[in-house]
Amino acid sequence: MNPTLSTSSDTPKRDAFERASEQVCEAAQANMAAACRLILTSELRMALRNRTDVAQPLIFFIVVGSLFPLGLGDGTSRLTALAPGLLWVCALLSVLLSLPQIYARDAANGTLEQLVLSPYPLAALCGGKIMAHWLLTGVPLALLAPLLGIAFGLDFDSGALLAVTLLLGTPILSMIGAIGAALTLGARAGSVLVALLVLPLYVPVLVFGSGAVEAWRAGVAFGGPLLLLGAGILFGVVLAPLATAAAVRIAIE
């Protein structure tokens, strides 16, 4: 109890009110954490059951990455020079491909309405979905990219930095992508529309992600873009679940 806040006449009422509001806050935080955990475990369990759905974007990544040497000719020096940017674009496209999956199943079997109507805050549920998407798509991509980079002649240090930029960038891709996926739920030509909406918004992530690796290879300071990506994650963690929840509500009503 804070004695400076209460006056002598209504001390008992004020204490009770403060206690009640503390309890509500704790309950809300517990609610949000519980909601997140609930969605996360359910998504991961679904992913275990549908392993091919999860693997498809990753296979796409490898296939598209392999197209570039075929298209550009196998002059290794040119490929190595282009590698960070190319690999980043391939990763971006793979994430784009995986976006409709975030809500497709839930929208089809009515789970989405249940989520909206549930007592848990919708923003927390959406946050859990975004985190699950990142764990299933972004993290594997970040780990696969240096391996594909070897095929491009990328050296170990550049590959490691590439993985770091992808680890920092793919959460933002998942966050923005989830908003786009929710906005285009059930729309005509949904997957192309999502790409059209989301790609301009992805550009800063692409620029900072591949730019960091390019800067390192050029011997210039590369910490700036990494910090900006980190700031983007923080910014997104606060805003993206709210925006996604708003988009889901718009889609459901």
Partner 1 sequence: MSSLFRYASPVAFYPLAGRLVPWFSGLALLFAIGGLYLGLIVAPPDWQQGETYRILFIHVPSAWMSMFIYFVMAGYAVLTLTLQTRLSALMMQALAPTGALFAALALATGAFWGKPTWGAWWVWDARTTSTLLLLFLYLGYLALQNAFEDVRRADRAGALLVLVGTINLPVIYFSVRWWNTLHQGASISLTAAPSMARIMVTSMLLMSLAAWAYTIAVVLSRVRGKILWRERSSQWVLELLRDGRSDGVDS
Interface region with partner 1, contact rule CB under 8 A, candidates 23-31, 34-42, 138-146, 203-211: 203-211
83 lies in the site for partner 1, by CB under 8 A: no
Is 238 near partner 1 (CB under 8 A)?
no
Among 16, 72, 187, 227, binds partner 1 (CB under 8 A): 187
Indicate the angle between helix axes 122-133 and 223-252, nearest 10 degrees: 130
**Start-to-end Cα distance in the chain:** 44
Q: Is 225 in the site for partner 1 (CB under 8 A)?
A: yes
| Candidate list 184, 216, 217, 241; residue touching partner 1; CB under 8 A | 184
User: Rounded to the nearest whole angstrom, what is the least distance from the CB of residue 197 to partner 1 in the complex?
Assistant: 4
User: Smallest gap, in angstroms, from Cβ of residue 180 to partner 1?
Assistant: 8
Whole-number Å distance between alpha carbons of 166 and 210? 9
151/110 Cα distance (integer angstroms): 44
- Residue 200 touching partner 1 (CB under 8 A): yes
In whole angstroms, give the CA distance from residue 119 to residue 15. Answer: 28
Q: Which stretch binds partner 1 (CB under 8 A): 66-74, 75-83, 87-95, 175-183?
A: 175-183
Secondary structure element (H or E) that encloses residue 251, with its range = helix 223-252
**CA–CA dist 118, 156 (Å, integer):** 48
Assess 201 for contact with partner 1 (CB under 8 A). yes
Q: Which ranges constitute the DSSP H helices of the chain?
A: 11-49, 51-72, 76-98, 101-108, 111-117, 122-133, 139-151, 156-183, 190-218, 223-252
Q: What residues make contact with partner 1 under the rule CB under 8 A?
A: 176, 179, 183-184, 187-190, 193, 196-197, 199-201, 203-204, 207-208, 211, 214-215, 218, 220, 224-225, 228, 232, 239, 243, 246-247, 250-251, 253
